[in-house]
Amino acid sequence: MRVVLVGPPGAGKGTQAQYIASHLSVPKISTGDIFRANVSRGTELGKLAKEYMDRGELVPDEVTIAMVRDRLLQDDVREGFLLDGFPRNVPQAEVLKEMLAEFGASLDVVLELKVDDEEVIRRLSGRRTCRSCGKVWHVVFDPPAVEGVCDACGGELFQRDDDREETIRRRLEVYQEQTAPLISFYEKEGILAGIDATGPVEEVTQRALSVLRRFGN
């Protein structure tokens, strides 16, 4: 089964991608994983991507697309995959469609994780990161025993700039600008399915799997 996972920041895509891919027995592919693999292996694409990342710039679409193409040519994705973080916009979606057609394949379903903005803000703005060991806590869902102190190492907890409410609201605006057209694109393709991504992780996973079964071959 070939699945694309979309959803706003804070929707739980990373967690759900892991669980869903495991249930479907397909590899989880995220752009972050692909970037790290190429950079660590020192591939030509990895070196090119690193130049942009070292300058604090976004990696251009053509580099990202080339990395995704390389990944989709590997043997372990012949029976399917779950893509998380790609495509992010309609031009990338069109390229992915063409790419899969070259391989004699197509997407089965695009699963949208739906979470309202206020829930996203509650989830992300409550995160606190340890300055020493990097462990992430949450003031509501996973609080440390002592406020501001990491249980794991005793380090100081702080709120990252991208976890501040004003930053989260801007990230949500960008997501809507980029993703609203993408959602429409896949709606027209007839392969879009949406689920409520609020509630316990296990419940969201079960909702996802229930929807995916309807699209299975």
Task: Tell me how long the chain is.
Answer: 217
Catalytic residue list contains 88 = yes
Distance CA 1, CA 51 (A): 35
What pairs with residue 81 in β-bridges? 2
Residue with tokens 């992780």: 201
88, 97, 135, 164: the active-site residue: 88
Beta strands per DSSP E along 63-190:
81-84, 109-114, 127-130, 136-138, 157-158
- Maximum distance among all Cα pairs of the chain, rounded to whole angstroms: 56
2, 122, 123, 127: the active-site residue: 127
Distance CA 207, CA 48 (A): 39
2, 13, 71, 128: the active-site residue: 13
Let me know if 166 is exposed, middle or buried by CB neighbors in 10 A (0-12, 13-18, 19+). Answer: exposed
One-letter amino acid of 21 = A
What are the two backbone dihedrals, phi and then psi, of residue 156, each rounded to the nearest 5 degrees?
A: -80, 135
Catalytic residue list contains 13 = yes
Catalytic residue list contains 160 = yes
41, 47, 131, 160: the active-site residue: 160
The string of DSSP letters for 13-38 reads HHHHHHHHHHHHT--EEEHHHHHHHH
* Residue 2 and residue 105 in contact, taking contact as beta carbons nearer than 8 Å: yes
Active-site positions read 13, 88, 127, 160, 171
